[in-house]
């Protein structure tokens, strides 16, 4: 039995790593023990055998495959340029809004202050310019002086002599201070509506088990009817598998574009885009929680739908799903027949509805690779989606989902 | 980093994907050879090699030019290979009720048998070494393959595996002893020279 320390020295010698001081020591050990010599020889042969293993070549040119995969999944380098352009424009808008607010506030403050200053300086009974509002240039409007009337000097500390005559509320040339303060400004100021811009919210899968995270997510989902929801996952194919199962469990279906289906089947690392409009906020909450629990995704980002998203959706589906001119495919509505027809008619309508539902397989979503391929005409699969698209029910959300791989 | 690689990387970052294609062609066989010896499965090795290039492209902005491109690429590929190998073992282990220590041997090139000399013996030896390599621990095997099969220097291996050079050395020595132990256990002869 060779001690470990000696065995390691032999291995080091075979690798050419032994220190000169240890070489002599090893030589003595080798001279003493045939077992040591045998190990030394065997290790040398092993090194030679490993070095002689044939070099394996990949056998195909990977470059086209790699470049095609990169083009299909549009890596982050390109995505950031294309996809965020619409979002980046929001910051100038927010900045402009803030500046507008500040300008309006300053203007209002200046106008108020100017009026208040004038009010404080002018004698109530004597100054005819008291009620004058500010001119467009910001100066108080001064009437043309009459020949007989003395010049009015605003800052004159001594009041001018005026002929005494009775003044009533109706004929008084001067408005009361209270009237001035409550009178509307002559110069119109555009009202500014303050709105809080909605920004993207990141959520992490690890937090989805906590109410503190789920509640904001639920609130955000309920805040609007249209959302963009991006999932980031180490395995988007698995995420799509799980998501498809969840869709089917809710009696819905997905039309999967062939290229996306092929990527999924071959487990090619890809990004997927999904459009879904048959789920409620609670459905999304439940499914997201389930996916997070299984570790299917690592984090997600919820954002409002913007114009860029609508353009992408138009590419995804061939038409803009938010376009109100597009009518859903006519479907039997039992509620309408209930009002108009007899019980027999109602029974027939219900029967037809259930048959139609079975044939159509319930509401439908659409899946494609992300970013959606640009195409002028509506494809067969997109047509299938539009034909099977059902009337959207109240309380259901329109969600543009993107499953992105984490590098 | 070689000037060729640096130029190609710069062009890739400027948006020229064909430059990245040139990088792929330059290193695909070398990466594949190492990955194949780590996972012992041609299709898996191809997938891992392809994914390594895709990941490298996506992370290219973060690549620091102070290291060799290929050592950085190796790091991505080896991590993926080791991860895949672990998953595969877990799967095999579950499917076979815990008896999943078998290695998957790929058929060797038929053309090899047409070479002169003792082709059959060589093939047998190679299969034995290849099979034994698969049983060496992942961390040790990676060092052994990079050193003996790919001929990398210690500092390059240290870069590729993100390890100190001392650790690389000690892992290599242990890997040699482990390989020897496995070969002896397999009750076969040491390859004839």
Task: State pLDDT tens for residues B97-109.
Answer: 444 444 444 444 4
Question: Nearest CA to CA, how far is B177 from chain A (Å)?
Answer: 7
Do A77 and B61 make contact, defined as CB atoms within 8 angstroms?
yes
pLDDT digits (tens, 9 = 90+) for A103-133: 999 988 888 776 655 554 544 444 444 444 4
Question: Nearest CA to CA, how far is B3 from chain A (Å)?
Answer: 21
What is the C-alpha radius of gyration for chain A, rounded to an integer number of angstroms? 39
Q: Chain A within 8 Å of B38 (Cβ-Cβ)?
A: no
Q: Chain A within 8 Å of B40 (Cβ-Cβ)?
A: no
Contact B67, B156 (CB under 8 A): no
- Give the integer Cα–Cα distance in Å for B90 and B92: 6
List B residues 62-121 in contact with A (Cβ-Cβ < 8 A). Answer: 108-109, 112
ipTM above 0.90, yes or no: no
Q: What is the mean pLDDT of chain A?
A: 72
Location of structure tokens 């008084």: A172
What would the 3-class secondary structure string for chain A be?
A: CCCHHHHHHHHHHHHCCCCHHHHHHHHHHHHHCHHHHHHHHHHHHHHHHHHCCCCCCCCCCHHHHHHHHHHHHCCHHHHHHHHCHHHHCHHHHHHHHHHHHHHHHHHHHHHHHHHHHHHHHCCCCCCCCCCCCECCCCCECCCCCCCCCCCCCCCCCCCCCCCCCCCCCCCCCCCCHHHHHHCCCCCCCCCCCCCCCCCCEEEEHHHCCCHHHHHHHHHHHHHCCEEEEEEEECCHHHHHHHHHHHHHHCCCEEEECHHHHHHHHCCCCCCEEEEEEEECHHHHHHHHHHHHHCCCCCEEEEEECCHHHHHHHHHHHCCCCCCCCCCCCCCCCHHHHHHHCCHHHHHHHHHHHHHHHHHHCCCEEEEEECCCCCCCCCCHHHHHHHHHCCCCCCCCEEEEEEEEECC
Q: Which residues of B touch A63 (CB under 8 A)?
A: 21-22, 24-25, 28
Do A61 and B130 make contact, defined as CB atoms within 8 angstroms?
no
pLDDT digits (tens, 9 = 90+) for A282-312: 888 888 888 887 888 888 888 888 888 888 8
- Give the integer Cα–Cα distance in Å for B157 and B151: 10
Whether the pLDDT of residue A272 is over 90: the answer is yes
Q: What is the mean pLDDT of residues B167-178?
A: 90
Q: Chain A within 8 Å of B129 (Cβ-Cβ)?
A: yes
Q: Which residues of A touch B131 (CB under 8 A)?
A: none
According to the model, what pLDDT value does residue A402 have? 93
Compare B91 and A86 and report the one with higher pLDDT.
Answer: B91
């Amino acid at each position: 039995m060779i001690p470990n320390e000696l065995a390691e020295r032999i291995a080091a010698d075979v690798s050419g790593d032994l220190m000169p001081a240890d070489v002599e020591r090893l030589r003595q050990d080798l001279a003493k023990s045939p077992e040591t010599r045998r190990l030394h020889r065997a290790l040398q042969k092993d090194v030679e055998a490993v070095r002689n293993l044939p070099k394996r070549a990949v056998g195909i040119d990977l470059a086209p495959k790699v470049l095609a995969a990169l083009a299909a999944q549009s890596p982050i380098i390109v995505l950031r340029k294309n996809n965020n352009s619409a979002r980046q424009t929001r910051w100038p808008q927010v900045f402009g809004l803030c500046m507008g607010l500040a300008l309006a506030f300053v203007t209002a403050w200046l106008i108020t202050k100017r009026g208040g200053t004038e009010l404080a300086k002018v004698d109530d009974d004597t100054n005819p310019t008291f009620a004058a509002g500010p001119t467009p240039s910001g100066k108080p409007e001064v009437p043309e002086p009459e020949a007989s009337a003395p010049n009015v000097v605003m800052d004159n500390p001594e009041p001018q002599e005026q002929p005494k005559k009775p003044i009533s509320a109706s004929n008084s040339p001067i408005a009361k201070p209270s009237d001035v303060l409550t009178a509307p400004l002559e110069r119109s100021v555009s009202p500014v509506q303050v709105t809080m811009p909605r920004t993207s919210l990141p959520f992490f899968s690890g937090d989805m088990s906590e109410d503190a995270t789920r509640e904001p997510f639920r609130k955000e989902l309920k805040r609007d009817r249209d959302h963009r929801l991006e999932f980031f996952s180490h395995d988007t194919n698995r995420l799509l598998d799980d998501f498809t199962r969840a869709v089917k469990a809710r009696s819905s279906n997905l039309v999967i574009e062939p290229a996306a289906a092929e990527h999924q089947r071959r487990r090619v690392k890809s990004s997927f885009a999904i459009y879904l409009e048959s789920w409620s906020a609670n459905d999304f909450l439940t499914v997201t929680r389930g996916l997070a629990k299984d570790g299917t995704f690592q984090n997600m980002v919820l954002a409002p739908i913007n114009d860029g998203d609508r353009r992408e959706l138009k590419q995804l589906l061939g038409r803009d799903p938010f376009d109100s001119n597009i009518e859903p495919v006519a479907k039997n509505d039992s509620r309408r027949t209930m009002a108009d027809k007899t019980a027999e008619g109602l029974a027939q309508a219900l029967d037809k509805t259930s048959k139609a539902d079975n044939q159509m397989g319930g509401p439908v979503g659409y899946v494609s690779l992300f970013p959606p391929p640009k195409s002028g005409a509506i494809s067969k699969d997109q047509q299938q989606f539009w034909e099977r698209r059902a009337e959207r029910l109240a309380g259901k959300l329109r969600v543009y989902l993107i499953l992105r791989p984490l590098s | 980093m070689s000037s060729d690689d640096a130029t190609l990387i710069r062009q890739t970052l400027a948006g020229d994907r064909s430059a990245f294609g040139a990088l792929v062609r330059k290193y695909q066989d070398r990466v594949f050879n190492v990955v194949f010896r780590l996972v012992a499965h041609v299709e898996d090795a191809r997938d891992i090699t392809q994914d390594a290039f895709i990941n490298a492209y996506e992370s290219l902005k973060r690549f620091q030019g102070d290291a060799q491109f290929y050592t950085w690429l190796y790091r991505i590929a080896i991590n993926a290979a080791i991860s895949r190998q672990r998953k595969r073992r877990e799967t095999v282990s579950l499917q076979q009720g815990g008896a999943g220590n078998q290695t998957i041997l790929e058929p060797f090139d038929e053309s090899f048998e047409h070479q002169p000399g003792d082709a059959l013996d060589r093939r047998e030896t190679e299969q034995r070494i290849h099979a034994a390599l698969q049983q060496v621990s992942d961390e040790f095997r990676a060092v052994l393959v990079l050193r003996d099969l790919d001929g990398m220097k210690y500092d390059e291996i240290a870069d590729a595996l993100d390890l100190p050079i001392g650790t690389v050395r000690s892992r290599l020595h242990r890997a040699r002893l482990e390989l020897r132990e496995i070969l002896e256990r397999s009750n076969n002869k040491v390859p004839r020279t």
